[in-house]
Amino acid sequence: MAAPTASHATAPVAPAHLPSVDKLLQSELLQPLLADYGRIATTDAVREVLEQLRQQLRAGTAITPESIAIPAIAERVASHLGLLFAPRLRSVYNLTGTVLHTNLGRALLPQAAVDAVVEALTTAANLEYDLATGGRGDRDDLVEALICRLTGAEAATVVNNNAAAVLLTLTALAHGKQVVVSRGELVEIGGAFRIPDIMARAGCQLVEVGTTNRTHARDYENAIDDDTALLMKVHTSNYAIQGFTKAVSDAEVTTIAHANDLQMVVDLGSGTLVDLRQWGLPHEVTVRETIEAGADVVTFSGDKLLGGPQAGIIVGKKELIAKIKKHPMKRALRVGKLTLAALEPTLRLYLHPEALAQQLTTLRLFTRPQTDMRAQAEQLAPVLQQALGAAWCVETAELASQIGSGALPVDNLPSWGLQIYPASGKQAGRQLQQLEAQLRALSRPVIGRLHDDALWLDLRCLEASAQADFIAQCELLNP
C-alpha cells in the first residue's frame, strides 16, 4: 500500500534525499555558474554545500524539503562561489581623519608611481641589469643617486619597510655589541615594532640611558665602554614627552659618538624629505637635517610622510651602507621591482618642489584648503540627510585630522566634515554602531570614526574626483 502523499511531504528529510553532484551539475540552474566559474570550482562548491547540508541533517537540524531542492542548493552554490571569487583587498573611503592610516594602507601613491608600477608589472625591466655594460646591475642603483641628492647622504639602500631597515642596520653594524639609546626613545610602533625587541632580534645589547623625560649628554658618555658599537637616536614619532624634559640633540650625540670612534644611527620613522613649513604645516625633522647633524646612518619609511610605497630606506656613510648591503640579511629583506617602480617616480617629484603639493597625493591631502572641505561638507550633508531619513541628524562640523602613522602626533590639521547622530538620542550607542556597520557594508565601504555619541566623517581624503561615486553610493543607503 502506497503511503498517503500528505505524510510523505512531512517525512523528515534525510541525507539520502539530497540530489547527487552529477544531477546538480547537469541542472539548468548550474549552467551559468559553470560558465562563469568553471567546472572545478563549481564542482567543489557543490560538494561543499552538499556536505554542509549532510552535516546539518546528521546533527538533527530541521530542514525543509525545499531547502534541499535543486533551486535552493543552486542558490547556495552561487553565493559560495561569489564569496570565493570576491576580492578580499577592497577600496574603501578613508573618512577617519587619519591621512596615513596604517590599517588602511598608509600613503596613496601619485599617478606617476601608479603608471610605473603598471608598466613594471607587464614588461621586463632592467631591475638588476646594467644597460651601459650589459652586465649585472644592482637594484639599489635605480634610486640611490636620487635618494642621495634629496637627502645629502653619501649612499643609500632600500629594504621592505623601516622595521626591516632598523633590524638590518643593527644586525650589520652592532651584532654582539652594545647600542646606547635614551629611555625616552624606547618606541613602540603599532604593537609589533618595539625598539627593545628589535635590538634583541638583531643580537645587540640595548643599553638604556637617562630617564623617560630627561636624558643628558653625560648619560651617553657614561654608558660607553669597549663593547659599545653605536649610539642610537629613535624619533619619538607617535608620542611627545612634554613638561620637564631634556633630550640630547642629534648633533651632540654625534659629537660624543665620533669622539669615541663610534657611529651614530638615527631611526627617523617618517622620512620627511622637505621642510613642511613651506606649506603651512608643522615642522618635522627632515632626513637632510639629520644627515647634516652628523648621523652616520639614518633609516626611514617610504610610505609615511614621504608619500611612496611601503619601503625602508637606509642612507648614510658610504662604507657603512656597503657593509649593510653585504650582510646576508639584506637579500632576505630586499624590495621587489614593484616597490622600486613606485619609489623612483615618487622621489623624482621632489626634484620639482613647486609642483609637489599638487602631484604628491599625501601632501595634496595634508594641504587641502579647509574652505574646500567645508564647501564639500555643505554639499554632502543634505544628500546624507535625505538618504538616512528623519531618524538621523546630519550636521557639518569643523574637525581636526591627523597626519597619522605616528608622524607629528600632537599636531592636528584643521579640517571639515560631517557629524551624524540619532535624532531621538535613544540607544544612541547601538544605533550608531549599526550605522557605522552599515556604512562599512557598502560596496565601497565608508570608514568613519565613532566619537562623542556621533559618527564623524572627515572629508579631507574625499577628493573631488571621488565625490560623485560617494554620493551615488550614499543614495543607496537604506536606513
Positions that interact with ligand PLP (CB under 6 A) = 161-163, 166, 187, 189, 193, 234-235, 237, 267, 269, 301, 312, 406
Least CB distance to ligand PLP at residue 178 (A): 20
H/E element, 120: helix 111-122
Least CB distance to ligand PLP at residue 350 (A): 19
Question: What does the alpha-carbon distance between residue 202 and residue 248 come to, in Å, rounded to a whole number?
Answer: 25
Q: Which is nearer to ligand PLP, 161 or 415 (CB)?
A: 161
Q: Which is nearer to ligand PLP, 301 or 359 (CB)?
A: 301
Question: What does the alpha-carbon distance between residue 342 and residue 429 come to, in Å, rounded to a whole number?
Answer: 42
Q: Which is nearer to ligand PLP, 410 or 437 (CB)?
A: 410
Least CB distance to ligand PLP at residue 213 (A): 18
Least CB distance to ligand PLP at residue 270 (A): 6
Residue facing ligand PLP at closest CB distance: 269
**Residue 440 CA: distances (Å) to CA of 39, 134, 448:** 33, 52, 9
Least CB distance to ligand PLP at residue 239 (A): 10
Q: Which is nearer to ligand PLP, 97 or 308 (CB)?
A: 308
Question: What does the alpha-carbon distance between residue 63 and residue 53 come to, in Å, rounded to a whole number?
Answer: 9
Least CB distance to ligand PLP at residue 283 (A): 16
Q: Which is nearer to ligand PLP, 140 or 267 (CB)?
A: 267
Least CB distance to ligand PLP at residue 203 (A): 19
Question: What does the alpha-carbon distance between residue 323 and residue 329 come to, in Å, rounded to a whole number?
Answer: 11
Q: Which is nearer to ligand PLP, 13 or 174 (CB)?
A: 174
Question: What does the alpha-carbon distance between residue 287 and residue 315 come to, in Å, rounded to a whole number?
Answer: 9
Least CB distance to ligand PLP at residue 185 (A): 9
Q: Which is nearer to ligand PLP, 353 or 409 (CB)?
A: 409
Q: Which three cell numbers stand for residue 71?
A: 533551486
Q: Which is nearer to ligand PLP, 312 or 448 (CB)?
A: 312
Extended strands (E) in 288-329: 297-301, 312-316
Q: Which is nearer to ligand PLP, 224 or 407 (CB)?
A: 407
Least CB distance to ligand PLP at residue 364 (A): 22
Q: Which is nearer to ligand PLP, 80 or 334 (CB)?
A: 334
Least CB distance to ligand PLP at residue 271 (A): 9
Least CB distance to ligand PLP at residue 301 (A): 3
Question: What does the alpha-carbon distance between residue 416 and residue 340 come to, in Å, rounded to a whole number?
Answer: 35
Q: Which is nearer to ligand PLP, 162 or 290 (CB)?
A: 162
**Rounded to a whole number, what is the distance in angstroms from the first to the last CA of the chain?**
57
